[in-house]
Amino acid sequence: MTNVRLITRLDVKGPNLIKGVHLEGLRVLGDPGEFAKKFYDQGADEIIYMDIVASLYGRSNLVEIVRKTTEDVFIPVTVGGGIRTVDDVQELLDSGADKVAINTAAANTPELITRVSERFGSQCMVLSIEAKRQPDGSWKAYTDNGRERTNLDVVEWAQRGVELGAGEILLTSIDREGYDIELTAKVTQAVNNPVIASGGMGNIDHLVSAVRDARADGVAMADVLHYGRLHLDDIRASADRVGIKVRKHAYE
């Protein structure tokens, strides 16, 4: 297996990095660019910026955030939220993003995946899938930051997305803490493209399971890093101890 990518996910509302808190709504954590720089300095492999209200309000505030971030951060930056057209993608790439993650617009207009892939390359087109297990044991894809249920079966949608031109799958479990290992394994078995596991990593065991049991190519982490419960140096060291290949920190 190639090196597993350690990715930090930064959810944004307006100009702020935020985190959803049970029974509290959204908590403002600070300037997203400052957090991105901190995690870059810690050795993150990639950054994912996700505007969590862009689909709801029909706009995204990330262009300026990405532009400022990429002045000091020199790792791949993926941007999602409110992307509806090829022109939206162009604007984000011009601001410094390397990839775009599209969920709602892709579910509503699947041919957008092909248009983005053909114009900018499949490596730029990340299909973002928000997944929730159903009573019958299947998983359905959700849009609008988990607010709207579709009739799309997650595994079938991942396969179709790759066929349409998606170069990568960002798979977020929205109904549990930690990664959904069973679902992630089904998706990695169904597609040959890289799959990023996302959805509430709380400890090293979550990462180990996502990589060893589900064969994820990357793991996206949020509040475990935001609140300092784990440091990327600790994560790399722990992964190395159990034989999971990760990129060495540039300073090592």
Confirm whether 98 is a catalytic residue: no
Which tokens is 12 given?
């944004």
Which of 85-91's residues contact partners 24+ apart within 8 Å by CB, and which partners? 85/112, 86/112, 86/115, 86/116, 86/119, 88/60, 89/116, 89/119, 89/120, 89/124, 91/63
Q: Kindly name the residue from 11, 88, 180, 217 that is annotated as catalytic.
A: 11
Tell me the C-alpha distance between 63 and 79, whole Å: 9
Quote the crossing angle between the two packed helices 154-164 and 181-190, to the nearest 10°: 30
- Give the DSSP letter string of 107-135: HH-THHHHHHHHHH-GGGEEEEEEEEE-T
75 phi, psi to nearest 5 deg: -130, 165
Q: Kindly name the residue from 51, 130, 168, 180 that is annotated as catalytic.
A: 130
Give burial (CB, 10 Å; 0-12/13-18/19+) of 74: exposed
Confirm whether 41 is a catalytic residue: no
* Separation of CA 220 from chain center: 6
Which tokens is 25 given?
């709504």
Tell me the C-alpha distance between 1 and 213, whole Å: 13
Answer positive or negative: Cα dihedral of 181, 185, 187, 192. Answer: positive
CB-CB contact of 166 with 193 (8 Å): yes
Kindly list the catalytic residues.
11, 130
